[in-house]
Amino acid sequence: MSDTRKNSSSVVDGTAKAPARAMLRAVGFNDADFQKPQVGIASTWSMVTPCNMHINKLAEFACEGADEAGGKGVIFNTITISDGISNGTIGMKYSLVSREVIADSIEAVVGCQGFDGLVAIGGCDKNMPGCLIGMARLNRPAVFVYGGTIQPGANHTDIVSVFEAVGKHARGDMTSVELKQIEQTAIPGAGSCGGMYTANTMASAIEALGMSLPNSSAQEAVSPSKAEDCRRAGAAVISLLEKDIKPTDIMTRQAFENAITTLIALGGSTNAVLHLLGMAHAVDVELTLDDFARIGRQVPVLADLRPSGKYMMSELIAIGGIQPLMKSLLQRGLLHGDCLTVTGKTLAENLADVAPYPADQNIIHSFEKPIKKDSHLVILKGNLAPDGAVAKITGKEGLRFTGKARVFHSEEEAQQDILNGTVVKDDVIVIRYEGPKGGPGMREMLSPTSAVIGKGLGNDVALITDGRFSGGSHGFVVGHITPEAFDGGPIALVENGDEITIDAETAEIRLHLSDTEIQQRRMAWQPVPPRYTRGLLAKYAKTVSSASEGAVTDKDL
């Protein structure tokens, strides 16, 4: 038995395994295949979203790569859902939950079938960290492939353009005809949402982590380079098997610090905080909100990318992707160059021959003239979030906001009052009971934040929640407030008209009440019953940890 077959051999070797071999012959195995290392190819293909509609073909390319390198590729599927479609509905409760379902399903299939290695191809927000969590739990040689970004829509539009157009229409600044034109042209085909939203953020972070091949994050979904990326990934798993390099060898604490540094420089999504915490938990790496704060004090925001910036991922791809940025971060001493990657080489070795960006590009700013001198991901604490909260503050919104609370018990309530004009300047919109347990599922607040921008209130109101935000959200927004309202956190005690201050410079979020008043309200607070008592959402609410711990479902097992 070869060491590269130590898992599959238990399934197919020997006389007693004739029934297993008989089953496998029906799906295309021959005698020679039983002596090859088996590589599972996890495809997140689905026609429920353009992010993943092309991934079955990519899975075939990855399978070809594994076969050509001397392995036997076997394609299997896992689920995906669409944040872009479900945002603003109760269906969004299943979004973060799907991350755990995907991780569980990959673990189940690979563990059951005895695959020796794994390629996982993800193309939407939750299936990407879901793939990584599954890889980490299995700890077999593995490579992640990003399905790739979408091309821009007409007039430089994307899905967030459509969400914000809804707000403009409500304000009276856009006709119904103009809204429909954006709706019809913003999504031209396959690929993940086009800005530095959660999908492109996670693809970049995973590449910086070392778990995908160089440039995997910076290729359009429908492109020859993405097809070749998949072929190379299939072959890379065979090489990793021969070298016995596993996810735990790559996903070290230093590698996670590289991922955090890169996502900050790119101006990435707040969701990356949640997902990196969850991924670190899966490999028993200690990572906390304090690590994001510590690294954030040293790393500037350099990329002028949507949602708060100007450019799209396709334009970053055209000038070289994230590799030149990573090289410059390494040269400044901000990355750990000795971290191992799925190439079998170190990060520094991968970056050695990377050319700098063209001199005339405007997407990636210099260290001397950053967009923001420190992180846009601000970890806030205070009497409103004792266990922490995550703010996305680029500085364009200002660094401090004080206003009066306008409290809502659901996203739908808030969305209605933003669009009808009830929410006004100097309000702090408080959306609670949307946390991991209380929602359950920690919905993204893309519809309310986009409505705020569309209504022209982006600089005039703040929004805080125990839920979370889409990577497409921007404005003065604070999410992941912990403890959440369902657990009796201070956000559950806020009343209309209470004064709240959010200060990015002091990293504080404060409810302007005395400790005595807060304690009196706490004594009067009554827990709310679970919204679901059967099925997936009920199970999730029972097992999920807090947002500050990554919202994982196996923390206390």
pLDDT digits (tens, 9 = 90+) for 426-454: 999 999 999 999 999 999 998 898 889 88
For residue 340, the cross-strand partners are 346
Do 467 and 450 contact (CB within 8 A), yes or no?
Answer: no
- Residue 185 has what pLDDT? 98
- DSSP string for 225-257: HHHHHHHHHHHHHHHHHHHT--HHHHS-HHHHH
- Residue 6 has what pLDDT? 94
Tokens 């994050």 label which residue?
Answer: 217
Q: What is the pLDDT of residues 461-520, one digit of tens each?
A: 999 999 999 877 877 899 999 999 999 999 999 999 999 999 999 999 999 999 999 999
- Residue 471 has what pLDDT? 79
What is the average per-residue pLDDT within 520-549?
Answer: 97
Q: What is the pLDDT of residues 388-440, one digit of tens each?
A: 999 988 877 789 999 999 999 999 999 999 999 999 999 999 999 999 999 99
Which segments of 364-432 are extended strands (E)?
377-382, 385-392, 400-408, 427-431
Rounded-to-integer distance, Cα 99 and Cα 276, Å? 12
- Residue 525 has what pLDDT? 97
- Residue 1 has what pLDDT? 38
Average model confidence (pLDDT) for the chain? Answer: 96
Q: What is the pLDDT of residues 303-359, one digit of tens each?
A: 999 998 999 999 999 999 999 999 999 999 999 999 999 999 999 999 999 999 999
Domains in the chain, ordered, with CATH? 36-151+189-351 (3.40.50.2300), 152-188 (no CATH), 377-549 (3.50.30.80)
Does this model's pTM top 0.95? My answer is yes
Q: In this structure, what token pair is assigned to residue 333?
A: 């001493």
- Residue 472 has what pLDDT? 77
What is the average per-residue pLDDT within 207-226?
Answer: 98
The verdict on whether 470 is a catalytic residue reads yes
Please choose, from the candidates 431, 481, 99, 87, the residue with its C-alpha nearest in 3D space to the C-alpha of residue 270: 481
Q: Among 470, 473, 545, 548, which one carries the catalytic annotation?
A: 470
Q: In this structure, what token pair is assigned to residue 481?
A: 């407030």
- Residue 124 has what pLDDT? 87
Is the predicted pLDDT of residue 32 greater than 60, yes or no?
yes
Rg of the chain over CA atoms, in angstroms? 23
Q: What is the pLDDT of residues 259-303, one digit of tens each?
A: 999 999 999 999 999 999 999 999 999 999 999 999 999 999 999
